[in-house]
Amino acid sequence: MELLDTAVVPEHAHELKREAREFAEAHIAPNAAEHYESGAYPWEILEQAMDVGLVAQDIGEEYGGSGWDLHQILAVAEEFYRADAGIALTLQLASFGTAIVEEYGSETQKETYLRPVAENEQISGLAVSEPETGSDLAGMETTAEKDGDEWVLNGEKYWVGNGVEADWVTLYAKTGDDETNRYGNFSMFIVPTDTEGYDAEHVPEKMGFRASKQAHIELNDARLPEENLIGTEGAGFYMLAEFFNYGRIVVGGHGIGLAAAAIEEAAEFVHGRRAFGRNVSEFQAVQHILADMVTEFHAARTLNWQAADRVADNDAAGHWAAMAKVKSTETATACAERGMQLHGGRSVLTENRIARVYRDVRVPVIYEGANEIQRNLIYNQARW
């Protein structure tokens, strides 16, 4: 059964989707179990993906990228995540945060920072979350204070993908203290990771997404030239809100890829496993579970692709992006849970793909804004 068919995918993304499938089958899927066990950063696979033009190509052509649009990024996400979430996240995060520089940065910033990422000489990251704050974007405590013609950064960031490996990160910091304008107190900065006062180490080992690496960053009087501010001072919250609308469509794709993996694994298992003198797939109760899984999958996927259109058209983007993220990532958790049950005792063998998927699906319901926050957005941004 082809779950990730092209029926809902616009034609301009078909060729890229085919290339992503080919790459995922040749390089991601065969290495997934090994990376899961070792938890090693998949440098080799990242470089192979760079060689075939599948990394950081969301950056525009004028800065050396391929200018992939949201639909193309989503198509790649579905394929990569079906093969393995941890490796997929590493490949997709190589240009994380660059969209903010591309949208709001100066020409000099774009030439200096975007081009090396697009040309796969550097990788980036996005540093927003903190040890004490994740969901409350207006409650972050890392500060950036102006001192002459420099910004001085102090504070901590947590969970930052590539925070150790990246050459630079787009970082969110507090630049104001206006109680009456809570959302206007934050700004975005380009922070090279070799800046004095920037120290990063990996967060402890995770149970899922093991081939991706996140960092705990400490900023102690890290000084940046004033030109490293991105766009307007005080506009950081709004920049992020827009950025996350796009990101949540792609995270929906993470859920879709994982859900597809769970359904494939479950279907294959029950069609080969025998009990009571017949294939397990012959029990109607089992067939109904698979029927529900595939129905939910297509409902989520259709919503996700429709939401991609809405976000691309800036039509109630926040509302649709949040719905897509909730539905697709929770379809993944539901499919993984059912897939585990259908595997019986073998479900808990860590060497089995279903056990990997089961652990990975815990993450997209959290990152890019926990689903509870998404529900707040769905309600608050609806035109009731």
Catalytic site residues? 368
The residue among 88 and 307 lying less far from ligand FAD, judged by its C-beta, is 88
The residue among 138 and 348 lying less far from ligand FAD, judged by its C-beta, is 138
Smallest gap from residue 256 Cβ to ligand FAD (A) = 18
Is 219:154 a contact under the CB 8 Å cutoff? yes
- If you search the block for the tokens 């649709």, which residue do you land on? 320
Smallest gap from residue 381 Cβ to ligand FAD (A) = 15
Residue count of the chain: 384
Q: What is the dihedral of CA 246, 247, 249, 251, to 10 degrees?
A: 170
Smallest gap from residue 135 Cβ to ligand FAD (A) = 3
Name the residues that contact ligand FAD, by CB under 6 A: 126-129, 134-135, 159-161, 209, 214, 363, 366-370, 372-373
Smallest gap from residue 275 Cβ to ligand FAD (A) = 37
Smallest gap from residue 203 Cβ to ligand FAD (A) = 8
Residue 285 CB neighbour total at 10 angstroms: 7
Strands (E) across the chain are located at: 124-127, 143-147, 150-161, 168-174, 186-192, 198-202, 214-225, 229-230, 274-275, 278-279
CA distance 320 to 367: 17
Is 189:173 a contact under the CB 8 Å cutoff? yes
The residue among 118 and 126 lying less far from ligand FAD, judged by its C-beta, is 126
The residue among 236 and 270 lying less far from ligand FAD, judged by its C-beta, is 236
The residue among 161 and 253 lying less far from ligand FAD, judged by its C-beta, is 161
For residue 18, which amino acid is it?
A: R
Smallest gap from residue 25 Cβ to ligand FAD (A) = 24
The residue among 17 and 157 lying less far from ligand FAD, judged by its C-beta, is 157
Output the residue with the shortest Cβ distance to ligand FAD.
Answer: 134
Cα end-to-end span (Å), the chain? 39
The conformation of residue 178, written as its DSSP 8-state character, comes to -
Task: Give the CA radius of gyration of the chain.
Answer: 21
Q: What single string gives the DSSP state of each residue in 319-379? A: HHHHHHHHHHHHHHHHHHHHHHHHTGGGGG-TTSHHHHHHHHTTTTTTTTS-HHHHHHHHH
Maximum separation of any 2 CA atoms in the chain, in Å? 80
Residue 75 is encoded by which pair of tokens? Answer: 């198509």
Smallest gap from residue 364 Cβ to ligand FAD (A) = 9
The residue among 150 and 218 lying less far from ligand FAD, judged by its C-beta, is 218
CA distance 58 to 56: 5
